Amino acid sequence: MIQLTSSQQSEKGRSLPAQEAVETIEEQEQVLPSGQGELILVVDDEAAIRDVTKTSLESHNYKAITASDGIEAIALYAEH
């Protein structure tokens, strides 16, 4: 559980907001769906993004192929 309070001072010394506010945020664990070997085409111009996305998908039981641009993506799509 994370609690946030807003009793910050502005640069001119006034309190904003006028009232003390407390917001409680409940952290929820997300359940990510597992694949059944589906093939996903990942397209991004940054190699690091492609690699992280592919690794993440493969760890959730998906197959992934990557392309660095639209032309390469269309060629891979046509192959598969």
pLDDT at 36: 95
Q: Are 29 and 56 in contact (CB under 8 A)?
A: no
DSSP per residue, 43-76: E-S-HHHHHHHHHHHHHTT-EEEEESSHHHHHHH
State the residue range of the domain holding 71: 2-79
Enter the pTM of the model. 0.60
What confidence tier does 14 reach under pLDDT thresholds 50, 70, 90? low
Domain count, the chain: 1
pLDDT at 10: 44
> At 62, which CATH number?
3.40.50
DSSP per residue, 3-38: EEE--EE-TTS-EESSS--EEEE------PPP-SS-
Mean of the per-residue pLDDT values of the chain: 83
